[in-house]
Structure 1
Amino acid sequence: MTRFAASSALLAAAALSLTACGGGGGGSVPVSAPRTTGVVAQDCTALSKTLPKTLMGLSRRDTSPASPNTAAWGDPAVTLRCGAGLPGIIDPASKDYDPEGENVSGALVGSVCWVSVYNQSDRSFTFSAADQQAIVEVDVPSAYAGKQSPLTELSGIVAKASPFDSDKKFNCSNS
Structure 2
Amino acid sequence: MLVVPAVALFLAAAGCSSADAGSPVAVPSPGPGEAKLCGALHKALPRTLGGLERDDPRPRSELTAGWGDDAIVLRCGVPRPKEMDDPQANAVDADGVNWMLEQLDSGARFTTTYRKAYVEVTMGPRFANDATPLAALAAPVARTVPSSL
Alignment TM-score > 0.5, same fold: yes
Look up the match of 2:146. Answer: 163
Structure 1 distance, partners of 2:97, 2:128, is 22
- Greater relative CO, 1 or 2 (CA 8 Å, sep 6+): 1
Q: Is the 8 A contact 1:47 1:157 kept in 2?
A: yes
Please state how far the C-alpha of 1:27 moved relative to its aligned partner.
1.5
Matched, 1:111 2:102: no
Q: 1:145 aligns with which of 125, 128, 135?
A: 128
Q: Is the 8 A contact 1:129 1:135 kept in 2?
A: yes
Please state how far the C-alpha of 1:148 moved relative to its aligned partner.
4.6
Q: Is the 8 A contact 1:29 1:61 kept in 2?
A: no
Q: Is the 8 A contact 2:57 2:70 kept in 1?
A: no
* Identical columns (%): 36
Please state how far the C-alpha of 1:112 moved relative to its aligned partner.
1.4
TM-score normalised by structure 2 residue count: 0.79
Look up the match of 1:19. Answer: none
Which structure 1 residue ranges, 4+ long, deviate > 3 Å from structure 2?
A: 146-149
Structure 2: gaps of 5 or more residues: 1-19
TM-score normalised by structure 1 residue count: 0.68
Structure number with bigger Rg: 2
Q: Is the 8 A contact 1:29 1:77 kept in 2?
A: no
Aligned letter for 2:110? F
Report SS of the residue matched to 2:132: coil
Mark the CA change 1:67 to 1:123 in structure 2 (over 3 Å): closer, same or farther: closer
Count how many residue pairs are aligned between Structure 1 and Structure 2.
130
More helix by share: 2
Question: RMSD of the alignment, in Å?
Answer: 1.8
Aligned letter for 2:102? V
Look up the match of 2:30. Answer: 36
Q: 2:117 aligns with which of 114, 130, 134?
A: 134
CA offsets, 1:12-53, max 9 Å, x none? xxxxxxxxxxxxxx8144111101222201100000011111
Structure 1: gaps of 5 or more residues: 1-25, 92-97, 167-175
Q: Is the 8 A contact 1:29 1:62 kept in 2?
A: no
